[in-house]
Chains A and B, each alone.
Chain A
Amino acid sequence: MASKQPENSLLGPEADSQRTLYPNVTGTSVVALKYKDGILMAADMGGSYGSTLRYKNVERMKAIGKHSLLGASGEISDFQEILRYLDDLILYDNMWDDGNSLGPKEVHNYLTRLMYNRRNKFNPLWNSLVLGGIKNGEKYLGTVSMIGVNFEDDHVATGFGNHLARPILRQEWHENLSFEDGVRLLEKCMRVLLYRDRSAINKLQIAKITEEGMTISQPYSLKTYWEFSAFENPTQGAVGSW
């Protein structure tokens, strides 16, 4: 009574070893915002292997074509696979050589289709993506999740960034931030994430994309303060259960 599946099917017991069930090496939050000249995006350089912070030089933001910047959290190998897909996409776009080019909106929608179709096959690319860019003066910032949920906003974040960074951005973001103000705001968000997200490391990069192109900072670290008096003797006065 067993029905035979074609060899490449993702259904049936043999297929389970091929499908993504859980991620292995992961990146944590990405935070991005629109500012006066384009988009600013920040991500740390950590690659966690479960609870071990195994890799400390992972670049989680990459330029896509002339107009876009992609940041990813989640499975690093899936991010690399996505970069390969986008490489092909941009290559064929350039080969037309006809004055038309894929802008950030087009790349974002392509990624949405990609993520959603994989989700439908129960074989997701385990990433949360942030796609930002500027084309012909129009700024664009969007996000896609591993199940294909996508939307645009003036500021976006993935993972813990949604819980810790977005509230700060909702209070303090405004239109036409200067570059310095934008960086200051992102650093404020990244500092909170550094304090509170256990998979964050103190080695980050900030990338900017404007009409002129993409630039990414050298890795640097944030100043932190651990001498708050409330944190001295943290267990004093605590009620114990044993």
Chain B
Amino acid sequence: MFRNQYDTDVTTWSPAGRLFQVEYAMEAVKQGSAAIGLRSKTHIVLGCVNKANSELSSHQKKIFKVDDHIGVAIAGLTADGRVLSRYMRNECINYGFTYESPLPVGRLVVQLADKAQVCTQRSWKRPYGVGLLVAGLDESGAHLYYNCPSGNYFEYQAFAIGSRSQAAKTYLERRFENFADSSRDDLVKDALMAIRETLQGETLKSSICTVAVVGVGEPFHILDQETVQQIIDAFEIVGEQEGPAAEPDAAAGQGAAAADQGGSTDEGVAPMDI
């Protein structure tokens, strides 16, 4: 996108019917580190990449519990994300107090979207620079929504936002048809594999990612680092075993030599080193 004379104000239309400030806000989401979400009929998993600025600092919190049945992962201006999370928590608490019942996630998402829209139609405001993946339960089951700075919201079976999210999206596009009937644990595995896609070769460790789960009968919670590392280790081992097995199939009659090749194309960790 290039600068032009219609992009100073959010309340100025371009001749092509675009609001450039809103589109620039959506760019901010694309610059944030990746966040992904996927769901089955009964569970939703949210995951994000957590890169700390330096080795000295801790990483930013990008996944927030909104209520027992709703959680959100953000990408973009995390400060805006925190403010919106506080709004969502407030709405859930107020609804729960009045009706003693959890706020249906679909309604919260619409309220959030309407709040974002206001900022696209006031000259003294700016759009929120954060995209939200809202995971929550409803009377009709598990839902995953994406809320945009533009004030639009969409429901997804699986989605990824932030930098290098296209790699995760490609991975998810290949597998999403199976998600509806996936088990909770398979869903978590798929989430971690989607996160791995955004890392582009970097090793997937629980110290650089965060995973959270919410489902029917399972309140929203963030999985602790140990649990996540165990899951990663489990499918990395399976991955290495499959490597040597796949090569002989592909290169017929190469036997032991192919097995060695399979071992070395993996993440560089030999089976004996685990």
Interface string of A84-110 (1 = CB under 8 A from B): 000000000000101111110110011
A100 touches B104 (CB 8 A): yes
Query: A99 to chain B: which residues have CB within 8 Å?
Result: 106, 138-140
Interface string of A103-141 (1 = CB under 8 A from B): 101100110010000000000000000000000000000
Query: B98 to chain A: which residues have CB within 8 Å?
Result: 109-110, 113
**Complex Cα spacing A96 to B138, Å:** 13
Which bracket fits the contact residues of B? 10 to 19
* Closest A residue by C-beta to B101: A106
Q: Does B99 contact A (CB under 8 A)?
A: yes
Partner of A109, one of B100, B138, B139: B100
A228 to chain B, nearest CB (A): 48
Query: B138 to chain A: which residues have CB within 8 Å?
Result: 99-100
Q: Does B174 contact A (CB under 8 A)?
A: no
**Complex Cα spacing A197 to B110, Å:** 51
B105 to chain A, nearest CB (A): 9
| B104-126 interface with A by 8 A CB criterion | 104, 106-107, 110
Partner of B101, one of A98, A103, A113: A103
**Complex Cα spacing A103 to B97, Å:** 15
**Complex Cα spacing A28 to B106, Å:** 42
Query: A98 to chain B: which residues have CB within 8 Å?
Result: 104, 106-107
**Complex Cα spacing A99 to B106, Å:** 10
B100 touches A96 (CB 8 A): no
* Closest A residue by C-beta to B99: A106
**Complex Cα spacing A159 to B110, Å:** 43
**Complex Cα spacing A106 to B103, Å:** 11
A100 touches B106 (CB 8 A): yes
B173 to chain A, nearest CB (A): 27
**Complex Cα spacing A86 to B108, Å:** 21
* Closest A residue by C-beta to B141: A99
**Complex Cα spacing A99 to B107, Å:** 11
Beyond A99-B140, A100-B139, whether A109 also contacts B99 by CB under 8 A is yes
Partner of B100, one of A100, A101, A106: A106
Query: B104 to chain A: which residues have CB within 8 Å?
Result: 98, 100
Query: A96 to chain B: which residues have CB within 8 Å?
Result: 106-107, 110
* Closest A residue by C-beta to B100: A109
**Complex Cα spacing A79 to B107, Å:** 29
**Complex Cα spacing A98 to B139, Å:** 10
A interface residues (Cβ-Cβ under 8 A, vs B): 96, 98-103, 105-106, 109-110, 113
**3 interchain residue pairs of minimum CB distance:** A106-B99, A100-B104, A109-B100
The 19 listed contacts between A and B (C-beta, < 8 Å) are: A96-B107, A98-B104, A98-B106, A98-B107, A99-B138, A99-B139, A99-B140, A100-B138, A100-B139, A101-B139, A102-B99, A103-B101, A105-B99, A105-B100, A105-B101, A106-B99, A106-B101, A109-B98, A109-B101
